[in-house]
Amino acid sequence: MASDIWSISGLIIVAGLLLFFYHDNGDVVEIANNWEKIISLPKRISKRIAIGLNVNLDLIVSGTKLLEELGEKPCNVISDQPVLDNLDHVQQCLAYSMQNCAGLERFFSNRSLFGVITDAAEKIDHEYFIGGNAALMAEKLVELSSKETTILLAGPIGTKLKQLLNPAIQTLEVKSSVQDEIHLILEYAKHEKWGTATATCANRIIFSHDISNSELSTLEELETHLKHFHPDLLVLAGAHLLDRYNEQFYKQRISRIATGLHNIPEHVPVHIELASTANMKFCELLSRTLLPLVDSVGLNEQELQFIAHSNAYPMKKSVEGFKAPEIGYLADLLYWMLTSHAGRLSRVHMHSLTFHIIAVVSDKWDNTESSVAAGARIAGLQACNLTQFSDDDFSLLVPQIISFSVDDEKLRRSPVIFSRDKPVLSWRRKDILFYFTPVLVCNQPVKTVGLGDAISSTALLHTQLQTNVV
């Protein structure tokens, strides 16, 4: 009898595990179709959008092929490096990124060696693309917006980059003295190997010896133009690049950004797009100083955890390697982020490989359900470079049983079963509303660069700050 009970219990456990982990890929098309029923533009969309500050030329190559071209053999050391000084650092950082599925962006301190690496990259299969969070967001917004929308892009734009930009984008005057900044994008495919590291997903590392963007050299010029441009949406990106400087310098520049943000009217929504940083003290200062002065933030799960960790959030899971944690845990971090940064902040869009969550302060934003669905939709399609979803090209990788919190007992004890019939789940925790949807993950990504920028831009266009009224 006892053995029968254990057999029955075992079957229940196995069944539960299957329910938790497995989905039929036939869900993909149905989820996409149900997104289409949800997605719509808000009643009023932004007509004058100002974006800055980091723009550059991306030189995209295979990370492993570039190291081979440079005559490097794997050093078999897997380690993140806050600043890259030599080729061993590049190897170690690439291996770390591959093993942890972590998209990293780092500064390369040796200018002459960076030139050597760039020359080697141009000798193998490579592509030049528009780069920099601000430029990529501007390109996506031009693509998605109506002809009535005017977009102003600020950043160090040289002649070659100007030729690549959509001609509909207004830029600050291109000066002959401004040189295009080159960023090296080292991509890798899922299961690709370098030494003892095996890539757990398709991703990339980025590094550069970029002075203009890292000093936010066009910040003051953008502020001058804003007085005449009168935007109804301001998007800032690139502040993370300051982390490579000493504390005195980055404090000065963060303070300068804050001074400018104080002058932005409350009815003009301000969005800041964050990116990877390795300096915990810098991250704490940036979040404490700037987040209360903006309305909206875009970031991924690694950046969310790093902000929480740098602000002494009582982490309940190891942040080493920033393994993808459970959905409820990230929701707890979003709740902390919105409730601990007093001021304007009322929206955070967290995007990860397999799902997105947008958290908003109640009654502050319209059309958020549509916004999170639109952001997730573009993530899969752009990664595969396709215009529609299919069951063969995409996978659904979220659990079927979803708990909305780890910290909140009531939410933790009320998990739900995800259904393709309702691809956006929503819940409330006090004054914070959450909207969750899976990403239909591309099985064979074509390009990973700029995906977060496309996601945030698309979601921004599909939402509206409620105080932004005529």
pLDDT tens, 404-419?
999 999 999 999 999 9
Indicate the pLDDT class of residue 326, thresholds 50, 70 and 90: confident
Residue 316 domain flag: yes
Residue 176: predicted pLDDT: 58
Residue 463 pLDDT > 60:
yes
Residue 79 pLDDT > 90:
yes
Residue 452: predicted pLDDT: 93
Whole-model pTM? 0.85
Residue 316: predicted pLDDT: 61
From 44, 6, 18, 223, select the one nearest 146 (Cα to Cα).
44
Q: Which residue has the higher pLDDT, 55 or 18?
A: 55
Residue 239 pLDDT > 50:
yes
Task: Identify the burial level of 82 via C-beta atoms within 10 angstroms of its C-beta, where 0-12 means exposed, 13-18 middle and 19 or more buried.
Answer: middle
Residue 367 domain flag: yes
Q: List Cβ neighbours of 237 (8 Å cut-off, separation of 6 or more).
A: 51, 52, 53, 54, 132, 133, 134, 137, 272, 273, 275, 453
- Residues that are catalytic: 453
Residue 127 pLDDT > 50:
yes
Residue 300 domain flag: yes
Mean of pLDDT values over 25-40:
92
Residue 15: predicted pLDDT: 35
Residue 451 domain flag: yes
Residues in the chain: 470
Residue 407 domain flag: yes
Residue 10: predicted pLDDT: 37
Residue 324: predicted pLDDT: 54
Residue 211 domain flag: no
Supply the range of the domain harboring residue 260: 35-46+232-465
Mean of pLDDT values over 224-229:
93
Residue 276: predicted pLDDT: 84
Residue 448: predicted pLDDT: 72
Residue 87 pLDDT > 90:
yes
Query: What domain count does the chain have?
Result: 1
Residue 464 pLDDT > 70:
yes
Give strand ranges (E) for 318-377. Answer: 347-351, 355-361, 365-366
Residues of the chain with pLDDT > 90: what percent?
A: 78
3-state secondary structure of 194: strand
Residue 445 domain flag: yes
Residue 244 pLDDT > 90:
no
pLDDT tens, 167-193?
999 998 766 567 889 999 999 999 999
Residue 140 domain flag: no
CATH value at residue 444 = 3.40.1190.20
Specify the range with the lowest mean pLDDT, choosing from 30-44, 54-68, 166-180: 166-180
Residue 470 pLDDT > 50:
no
Q: Are 76 and 196 in contact (CB under 8 A)?
A: yes
Indicate the pLDDT class of residue 25, thresholds 50, 70 and 90: low
pLDDT tens, 356-376?
999 999 999 999 999 999 999
Give strand ranges (E) for 362-407. Answer: 365-366, 394-396, 401-402
Indicate the pLDDT class of residue 345, thresholds 50, 70 and 90: very high
